Amino acid sequence: MAINTADWPYHLRIPIDYVPSSVTAGQVLTVTEATIEKMPLALQNLFWSKVKNGGGDLRVCENVDGSGQLPIEVVLCDTVSKKLIVWVRIASFDGSNVLHLFFKNDSASALPVANTYGQYAVWQDFEAVYHFRSPDPLVDATSNVRHLNSVGNATFNDGVIDSHNDFNNRLVATGYNGITGDVDRTVTFLSNPTQNSDYGITTWGASADRERWSVYFDNGAFRTEIQSSYHYTNSWTGDGNFKRFTSILSGNTFPLNHSLRINGTEITDTRKGSDRTVDTNIGADVIVNGFDNFLGDQFGGEELKELWYRAEAISPSKDKVETTNQTNEPDFYGVPSVFYGSEEIRAFTGAVSLSTTTVGESYKRSMLTANASISASTAGSFLKRVSVKAVAKIKAMVSGQATKKVPLAGSSSIKATTHATASKKSILSGVTAIKTFLTSRFYNKADNVETHTITIQGQLRESIEVKGFVNTNRN
């Protein structure tokens, strides 16, 4: 399927710098404002000024011609705060992929969640997905619609669950029994625990016979427990920074076939309980950030950004891809390029300044001089050439002339034009001005710095006032 690029004149070309250890299938990636912020400020502002607030016009394709449309979920696109969260699914990921993010279609609206390229298609391989820092933090993003409900005094604010001191204050996905039976499973979440963190991430199952699956922190140790057996890190794992924690079962024996990964790295320094065959069909609701009174957990103000359930044991390569993308996005992607149609829009990345000076005053007929200079540098710029314009304004002139003092080193010359002259009598009734324009166009060179000066001289009765501004145009 392809979009009609005539309806989407602008797009970002987002290269991927990360190369996985092996090809991954059904790879879900995120693009946030961290990637947008890699561009020059002028291009960032262009993007935020053209994209729709809410991101209803955003589309992602594999190819610049709009073909190879990819499923996306736009969680957040706030053009005021300049915040962006987009999830996209790539059928086969090998690191050579390029994302083309199309925007600026005034007639486009958000894709329906059940659309072929909509939200449900992004999470087609997942049992449940929760974006805890989204406008709808308790809504399951998958087509399974296993939404969470707040029970008791549990409140939610920007990823933090407050008033959560016991089992009576929790978030519950009613009717979802978790990943049951002896199938492979993966539970993944992003959080920022501390050394003393002691709280539950998720649990499901009956507490009476303890036939449940629980993922939690035990005094800073990352821990999974099932049917009273356990597997947890031997030392605390929290330093208050966000990390990606993954609990994976790749067979029907726990903890023999279970692994714990933190930021994509398997933890081998662990403690394990007795082996158990995972064959129970657990029949209780899933509870997020809550255990029963037996475990007596307390959520201490840490944050959850994401929580994902999958009925598969994800590969180390996929886990590492997701970890790098979610925890180190600026290094995962290269610098985006902005295009209008097939033309790349470039931004001047050098420095431009305009300086103006007044030399002396005259109350008779002596000559008075004002200088306006422009200095432009393209050091570090990726442009081939830059057009820089400046204007200097001289006030209160009886008569005057503009003279060229320094030739341009670029491809065009200075043009100084006298727009107005005045007799002595006219000074009494108002102020006139001569405007002189200085234009510089030069090819980009390493450490290219050029300074040009226009000097204006005339017979004046008042002091000279010089004002100026600089416009920089890409070319």
Per-residue model confidence (pLDDT) at position 157: 61
Per-residue model confidence (pLDDT) at position 289: 66
pLDDT band at 180 (very low <50, low <70, confident <90, very high): confident
Rounded to whole angstroms, how far apart are CA atoms 145 and 122?
14
Give the model confidence (pLDDT) of 358-372 as tens digits: 444 444 444 445 555
Give the model confidence (pLDDT) of 37-75 as tens digits: 999 888 999 999 999 999 999 999 999 999 999 999 999
Give the model confidence (pLDDT) of 280-301 as tens digits: 666 778 877 644 333 334 444 5
pLDDT averaged over every residue in the chain: 75
State yes or no: pLDDT of 97 exceeds 90. yes
Per-residue model confidence (pLDDT) at position 135: 85
Identify the CA nearest to 312 among candidates 215, 410, 185: 185
Q: Which of 13-27, 30-44, 315-329, 410-424 has the lowest mean pLDDT?
A: 410-424
CB 182 within 8 A of CB 279: yes
Question: Quick one: which H or E segment has residue 428?
Answer: helix 424-429
The DSSP secondary structure of 175-221, one letter per residue, reads T---S-TT--EEEEEEE---TT---EEEEEEETTTTEEEEEEEETTE
Q: Which of 42-56, 144-158, 259-273 has the lowest mean pLDDT?
A: 144-158
Question: Quick one: which H or E segment has residue 49?
Answer: helix 41-50
Per-residue model confidence (pLDDT) at position 13: 97
Provide the H-helix boundaries in 203-354: 316-327, 329-332
Q: Where are the beta strands (DSSP E) in 207-301?
A: 211-218, 221-226, 229-233, 243-249, 253-254, 258-262, 265-266, 270-272, 276-277, 286-288
Identify the CA nearest to 129 among candidates 85, 69, 81: 85
State yes or no: pLDDT of 303 exceeds 90. no
Give the model confidence (pLDDT) of 189-235 as tens digits: 998 887 777 777 888 876 545 567 889 888 888 999 988 899 999 97
CB 427 within 8 A of CB 319: no
Rounded to whole angstroms, how far apart are CA atoms 90 and 73?
13
pLDDT band at 355 (very low <50, low <70, confident <90, very high): low
Per-residue model confidence (pLDDT) at position 430: 28
The DSSP secondary structure of 31-44, one letter per residue, reads EEHHHHTTS-HHHH
CB 314 within 8 A of CB 294: no
